[in-house]
Amino acid sequence: MTYITKPKLHHPSLQKNSVGFTRRDYEGRISTLCAGCGHDSISATIVQACYELAIEPHRVAKLSGIGCSSKAPTYFLGSSHGFNTVHGRMPSVLTGAYLANRDLTYMGVSGDGDSASIGLGQFAHVMRRGVNMVYIVMNNGVYGLTKGQFSATADKGSVAKKGAVNSDSGIDLASLAILMGATFVARSFSGDKRQLVPLIKAAISHPGAAILDVISPCVAFNNHKGSTRSYDYVREHNEAVNSLDFITGQAPIEADYAPGSTVEIMQPNGVALRLAKIAPDYDPSDKAAALGYIQEKERAGEIATGLLYLDAQPRDLHANLRTTRTPLNELDEPDLCPGSATLDKINASLR
Ligand SMILES: Cc1ncc(C[n+]2csc(CCOP(=O)(O)OP(=O)(O)O)c2C)c(N)n1
Ligand code: SF4
Ligand SMILES: [Mg+2]
C-alpha cells in the first residue's frame, strides 16, 4: 500500500481551537480512494467534528476492519492511535481496548460488508454491551474493495452495475442497533455535511454505544440507475426526522415538548443535545415508535435520517462490570495480586 503524506507546512494564520490545534492537525494522509467516493466526505466531516469539539488528537483511538471504508482512518486523525484489525473483527478489539483504558475516545470505522456480512455477530454484541464508542458504518451497499458484490445491506430489488438484481432482504443496521441495545442511533448521508457534522459531535459526546449509519455512495460500483445507494437516489429519498445541535454544560431536561418544537435532552456527562423536530410526531426516546417509523419510511421507499433513537441515560460497560478506573497498564503488582492470605479467604468462602 502506498501512503502519501501531506506537506507539514501550515499557514501561520490558521485558526486554532481551544486546545491549540488547527483543522489541519486533525487530517491524515492523502486519500487513495476513488475520486468522489462518499467515504472521503465522511473522513472530512470527522476532521471537522473533532476540530470543533477540540478533542486532543492523541486522546482518540480509531479502529477499523477491512474494506475501502476501513482504510479511511488512514486519511483522518493522523496523530491518533490506530488499529486496522481483521475483517469484521473490529468490535471485539475495540471492546478490549476500551476495557484496558476507558480514558480515550473510541471511534470504530467499518463498512456494510465488514459490519453486516462477516462481522454481523460482533456488530450485534458490541451494541448491547454499553461500550462507550462512536461506531461509524460507511454504508454503500456493496463490497467496494473487492469490486462491487452486493453486501447484506443492499436493498431487495436493487440492481447491480452489470444488471444483476438483488433477491435477498437487506439488513437495516440502524434498526438492528436499536434492537440490540445501542443508546444513540443515527443515520445520515455522506453528501449532507450540515446534518452529519453535528451528528458526529453528538455521537462522540454520548457516554454510551453510539452508532452512525452513513449512506456513502461507491462511485465505482454502485452509483448508477437502479441502485438505492447512489447520490441521486439518496438525495431524492432522504427524509430527516430532526436536526441536531448540542450544548455543553447546560441544565434543563424537557421530557414533554410540542410538535415541531425544539427539545433539549441532558446526558449524565453534562452534555445536552438540542433537537429541532422536523417530523412533528417523531419521538427519538420511544424505541418501538422509532423502529416503526423507520420501517414505515422504508416501505414507502424513503430513507429516514437524523437522530433516530436516544437513551439519554446509558449504562456503561465499566459500570456494569465494576472495573477499576485506572488504565490496566498503570496497575502495579500489588493492585493485581491481592496476596495469598486474601486468596485463601476467597477460596474458603467458595468451599
Ligand atoms: C476473512 C476475509 N474474508 C474476505 C475478505 C475479502 N474482502 C476484503 S474487503 C471485503 C468487503 C468490504 O466491504 P465493505 O465492508 O462494505 O467495505 P467497502 O469496501 O465497501 O467500503 C471483503 C469481502 C477478507 N479480506 N478477509
Ligand atoms: S471502490 Fe467504491 S468504496 Fe472503494 S474507494 Fe472506490 S468508490 Fe470508494
Ligand atoms: Mg461497502
The residue ranges of every structural domain in the chain are: 23-316
Q: What is the pLDDT of residues 255-314, one digit of tens each?
A: 344 446 788 888 988 888 888 878 888 899 999 999 999 999 999 999 999 999 999 999
Domain 23-316 CATH superfamily: Thiamin diphosphate (ThDP)-binding fold, Pyr/PP domains (3.40.50.970)
Q: Is the CB of 75 under 6 A from ligand 2?
A: no
For the chain, list residues with pLDDT below 50.
250-259
pLDDT on residue 251: 42
How many CB atoms are located within 10 Å of the residue 112 CB?
31
pLDDT on residue 201: 96
Q: Is the CB of 37 under 6 A from ligand 2?
A: yes
3-state secondary structure of 158: coil
What is the distance, to the nearest Å, from the Cα of residue 80 to the centroid of all Cα atoms in its chain? 17
Degrees, nearest 5: CA angle 96-102-105: 95
pLDDT on residue 252: 38
pLDDT on residue 272: 86
Rounded distance from Cα 37 to ligand 2 centre (Å): 6
pLDDT on residue 2: 60
pTM: 0.93
pLDDT on residue 1: 55
pLDDT on residue 9: 73
Q: Is the CB of 69 under 6 A from ligand 1?
A: yes
Residue 229 CA to residue 69 CA, distance in Å, equals 15
Element (H, E) at 72: none
Atom of ligand 1 nearest to the CA of 112: 16
Rounded distance from Cα 87 to ligand 1 centre (Å): 6
pLDDT on residue 214: 98
Residue 200 CA to residue 208 CA, distance in Å, equals 14
Residue 256 CA to residue 174 CA, distance in Å, equals 25
* Residues at Cβ < 5 Å from ligand 3 ion: 111-113, 140, 144
pLDDT on residue 3: 67
3-state secondary structure of 248: strand
